[in-house]
Amino acid sequence: MDDVSYKNKNMFGLFKKKSEKEVLKAQYEKLMTEAFKLSQTNRSAGDAKYAEADAIMKKIEKAAD
pLDDT digits (tens, 9 = 90+) for 2-13: 445 455 555 666
49 close to 34: Cβ distance less than 8 angstroms: yes
Domain that holds residue 28: 17-64
Instruction: For residue 8, tell me if it sits in a domain.
Output: no
Per-residue pLDDT at 16: 77
Instruction: For residue 24, tell me if it sits in a domain.
Output: yes
pLDDT exceeds cutoff 80 at 59: yes
Instruction: For residue 6, tell me if it sits in a domain.
Output: no
pLDDT tens digits along 2-53: 445 455 555 666 677 888 889 999 999 999 999 999 999 999 999 999 999 9
Alpha helices in the chain (DSSP H): 2-13, 20-41, 43-64
Instruction: For residue 22, tell me if it sits in a domain.
Output: yes
Distance of CA 54 to the CA centre of its chain: 12
Burial 35-48 (b: 16+ CB within 10 A, else e): beebeeeeeeebee
Instruction: For residue 9, tell me if it sits in a domain.
Output: no
Instruction: For residue 29, tell me if it sits in a domain.
Output: yes
Number of domains in the chain: 1
Per-residue pLDDT at 34: 95
Instruction: For residue 1, tell me if it sits in a domain.
Output: no
Instruction: For residue 53, tell me if it sits in a domain.
Output: yes
